[in-house]
Amino acid sequence: MKNALFSRLLSLYTSPVSMEKFITEILAGILRSEPNLLDKFVNTVLNIKGTQFKVETDQNYGEVKPSMSFSNKDSLCFLENKVESFEENGQLETYKFFLQDQPADLKVYLRYCTQYYEKKNIKDINFKQFFWSDIYTFLETFYSTNLLVQLFLDFLKEKNMNSLTELNAEDLVAISNLHETLGKMDVCLDSIAAEMTELFGNPTIGSPKNHQERLRDLGTFKQYHMSKNPLLQGGNGEWGWSDIRISFAYNEEPTKLIVWYWCGRTHSQYELLKRLIKKHQRLFANFPGLVIEEMPNWLVIAVKKPLAEFYLEPKPLQAIRDWLSSVLPLFRRFADKTPELHWNIPK
């Protein structure tokens, strides 16, 4: 079945929300939803023996607060979950020291669950790490008839947290061509950099002199991009950023070339920007591929085009360059029409 219940619930938040905490709370609710499910999860996924476990989320243990804790009369396990992020500095070691201070007759365990590969070497404690895909496999194998589990599996799959696939023949071909592909994307982005600079100022991420920044974000966000940040003055808080971005977006299906404005919800101009986008939407109305989307933590206005469409052209790279050259002025016209916003762009 396909049901976007959890995605719709996430979209209802009007203030920034941590994806890690959102998914962790769903998982905890599921583990409490069916008799023996919690114990089987602890036995199978966490690889800890025992029964009659209870689970807590964001429970304070002195100065530490793991994502989840599992306990019974004999055992205590801390589980730290990460979604599209990595360990904070020394986090797991801090958990380890706390667990090592527990009474000698209490069995202690430390577990680490991630979306991406992040090898950890934690010594002097029973430590194991695994992936969200392992949780997906466990739930799908043993509890897929549970309606709540079905909805959660759909959500994990939507967030690409359902599998870590093995290399196949297509992957090997892609790896062989990776350097050449990156070079072609660099040519496209470099060719438009001067025009982007004239309209919005120097790129701050992924400029022609910093190709390595593009490669870093490809691994983290599945986007190969060049951007200018901040685009609007007055950013503050965790979600206070703003930028204009040109992206080869591999997180889209199919892969797309995108030009977009991003603005985080805690930015001081967020609400004004939202109102002005609605007011001036007609500027973009006749341009194919327009998307205006408000998520829990950010607002996006984007123009998208499937990458495959460019390869129908006689000269695909030139077609990409021409398309970008036609879209960027569209976004600049929006900035020129909205002097109420404090733009961080050339006059």
CA–CA separation, 79 and 46 (whole Å): 9
- Whether pLDDT at 9 is above 70: no
Q: How confident is the model at residue 13 (pLDDT cuts 50, 70, 90)?
A: low
**Secondary structure element (H or E) that encloses residue 97, with its range:** helix 91-100
Which pLDDT value is given to residue 77? 97
Residue 164, token pair as written in the block: 């870590």
pLDDT value of residue 5: 62
Question: Could you give the 3-state DSSP secondary structure of residue 49?
Answer: coil
Grade residue 60 by pLDDT with cuts at 50, 70 and 90: very high
Residue 208, pLDDT > 90, answer: yes
Please check the confidence at residue 174 and state whether its pLDDT lies above 90: no
Q: Which of 100, 50, 101, 98 is nearest to 72 (CA)?
A: 50
| Residue % of the chain over a pLDDT of 90 | 60
Name the residue with higher pLDDT: 317 or 163. 317
Residue 4: is its pLDDT beyond 70?
no
Would you list the DSSP string of 307-330? HHHHTTSSSHHHHHHHHHHHHHHH
- In the chain, what are the domain boundaries? 5-158, 172-337
Using CA atoms, how far residue 245 sits from 192, 238, 301, in Å, is 12, 19, 11
Confidence of residue 189 (pLDDT cuts 50, 70, 90): very high
pLDDT tens digit string along 230-286? 999 988 777 888 999 999 998 888 899 999 999 998 999 999 999 999 999 888 877
Q: Looking at 134-138, 167-171, 208-212, 259-263, which range is the least confident one?
A: 167-171
Fold category of 5-158 in CATH: Trna Endonuclease; Chain: A, domain 1 (3.40.1350)
Residue type for 292, please?
Answer: I
Q: Give 219-240 pLDDT, tens digit per residue.
A: 777 899 999 999 999 887 778 8
pLDDT digits 0-9 by tens, 192-207: 999 999 999 999 999 9
Q: Is the predicted pLDDT of residue 73 greater than 50, yes or no?
A: yes
Mean pLDDT of all residues in 116-128:
89
Q: Nearest Cα to 149, choosing from 20, 32, 30?
A: 30
Share the mean pLDDT of the chain.
Answer: 88
pLDDT of residue 10: 63
Mean pLDDT of the region 152-169: 77
Tell me the one-letter amino acid at 144.
S
pLDDT score, position 1: 44
Contact 319, 310 (CB under 8 A): yes
What is the distance between the alpha carbons of residues 49 and 41, in angstroms, rounded to a whole number? 10
Tell me if 251 sits within 8 A of 221, measured CB to CB. Answer: yes
The alpha carbons of the chain give a radius of gyration, in whole angstroms, of 23
Q: Which of 6-15, 32-41, 213-222, 224-233 has the lowest mean pLDDT?
A: 6-15
- What percentage of the chain carries pLDDT values higher than 70? 93
